[in-house]
């Protein structure tokens, strides 16, 4: 192979390697960008899951508090309606029956006792409302977490695809580098041959003079 031809082929090969390196840089940027997105969405998902965990703990605490109050109501065999009914009955007795002072005190004390139970019943209602609200919040956060998880998978796929492309380009570059080495070796040998030829021509010229 002529030196000029080898040089031309070597130049084309080196240009191709340069192009592949540029392409590899672009793909690497896409892969790294996708990896950043994966990291960002993972962090968001973990933060959301942390909030969900805290809210589940809060519901557990509120349910325990409600459970204790409900147990008391169960033991006394009363509910909100029966308590209100009892208070009305006792107040009617005081208003209509004109009981003795001592009896009235007893009835008032009993009404106070039922009113305290009524307060506890209102606390149960508040706890039910709070538990329902937090449960709704949890559902919203779980949905957000699922969305972030989808984004993690989506960008992880982009990252994996670009990583695969990158590996393929590096394999191509390595093959072309091997070919470039071979051509460079041929060029060296061709240059040696040319130098040898020049020397022989000089010697022949000197002999003929």
Domain count, the chain: 1
Domain residue limits at 169 = 3-196
Residues 155, 5: Cα–Cα separation, whole Å: 46
Q: Note whether residue 202 is domain-resident.
A: no
Q: Note whether residue 203 is domain-resident.
A: no
Per-residue model confidence as pLDDT tens digits over 172-197: 999 999 998 888 888 777 777 767 76
pLDDT of 1 over the 60 cut:
no
What does R_g of the chain's alpha carbons equal in angstroms?
44
Average pLDDT of the chain, as a whole number: 91
Residues 193, 112: Cα–Cα separation, whole Å: 118
Q: Note whether residue 206 is domain-resident.
A: no
Contacts of 135 (CB under 8 A, 6+ apart): 59
Per-residue model confidence as pLDDT tens digits over 123-136: 999 999 999 999 99
Q: Note whether residue 201 is domain-resident.
A: no
Per-residue model confidence as pLDDT tens digits over 34-78: 999 999 999 999 999 999 999 999 999 999 999 999 999 899 898
- CATH number (domain holding residue 74): 1.10.287.2610
Q: Note whether residue 205 is domain-resident.
A: no
């Amino acid at each position: 192979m002529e030196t000029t031809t080898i040089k031309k082929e070597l130049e084309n090969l080196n240009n191709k390697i340069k192009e592949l390196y540029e392409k590899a840089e672009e793909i690497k940027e896409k892969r790294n960008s996708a990896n950043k997105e994966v990291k960002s969405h993972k962090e968001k998902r973990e933060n959301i899951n942390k909030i969900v965990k805290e809210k589940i703990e809060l519901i557990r605490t509120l349910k325990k508090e409600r459970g204790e109050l409900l147990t008391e109501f169960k033991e006394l065999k009363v509910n909100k309606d029966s308590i209100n009914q009892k208070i009305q009955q006792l107040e009617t007795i005081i208003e209509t029956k004109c009981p003795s002072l001592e009896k009235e005190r007893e009835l008032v004390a009993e009404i106070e006792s039922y009113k305290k139970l009524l307060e506890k019943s209102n606390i149960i209602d508040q706890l039910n409302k709070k538990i329902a609200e937090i449960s709704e919040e949890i559902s919203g956060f779980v949905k957000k977490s699922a969305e972030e998880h989808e984004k993690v998978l989506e960008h992880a796929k982009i990252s994996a695809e670009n990583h695969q492309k990158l590996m393929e380009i590096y394999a191509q570059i390595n093959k072309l580098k091997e070919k470039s080495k071979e051509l460079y070796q041929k060029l060296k040998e061709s240059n040696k041959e040319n130098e040898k030829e020049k020397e022989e021509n000089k010697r022949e010229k000197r002999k003929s003079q």
